[in-house]
Amino acid sequence: MFVWFLAPVAVLLIVPAAAYLWTRINPRRIRTDIEIDASPEQVWRVLTDFAAYPQWNPFIVSAQGEPRAGATLTNRLAGNGGEMTFTPTVLAATPGRELRWIGRFVMPGVVDGEHYFLIEDLGGGRSRLVQGETFTGALVPFVGKTLDVADGFAAMNAALKARAEKMA
């Protein structure tokens, strides 16, 4: 009788732990990039002007906070017919080069998304913006299409390109 009670408890503990470990070995990754006819500094200015996001950004429709390591942002995403607000922690903010944050669902290890923007100097006043995210966590293998945000990334990249090139 005691063994039957432990079996469901073991499953409830082992399955999420195994899923979490699997995503640490094999995370879900999304990566997009776009070339921009503007300097890395100009791309950075557009990327980190959070107050202007509602004017141009179709994916992160609102962002508040400071682009500095350790800061907490409040971002509102649009997609799949609705909006979602989350509060990631900035991991890196190197002007003209990198902005990186981590967002978590409920608590660490459930669904963790490390989002990054890398700005590469192509020379001659041109840049490449790389936007991506790495998802890990116990629920990642089970949430599937919810994490398919590559179209949102691409839309934001195109809008950022248009804004940076207009301002260059």
DSSP H stretches of helix in the chain? 2-25, 40-48, 53-56, 140-143, 150-167
Global pTM value: 0.86
Whether 90 contacts 100, CB under 8 Å? yes
CA distances (Å), origin 3, targets 11, 17, 18, 105: 12, 21, 21, 33
Spatial separation of the C-alpha atoms in residues 103 and 85, rounded to whole Å = 11
For residue 5, give every residue at least 6 positions away whose Cβ sits within 8 Å of its Cβ, in sequence order, or none. none
- Mapping DSSP to helix (H, G, I), strand (E, B) and coil, where does residue 80 land? coil
Domain of 110: which CATH number? 3.30.530.20
Per-residue pLDDT of the chain (168 residues; tens, 9 = 90+): 556 666 666 656 666 666 666 666 777 899 999 999 999 999 999 999 999 999 999 999 999 999 999 999 999 999 777 889 999 999 999 999 999 999 998 888 889 999 999 999 999 999 999 999 999 988 888 887 778 899 999 999 999 999 999 987
Residue ranges making up the domain that contains 82: 2-167
**Total domains, the chain:** 1
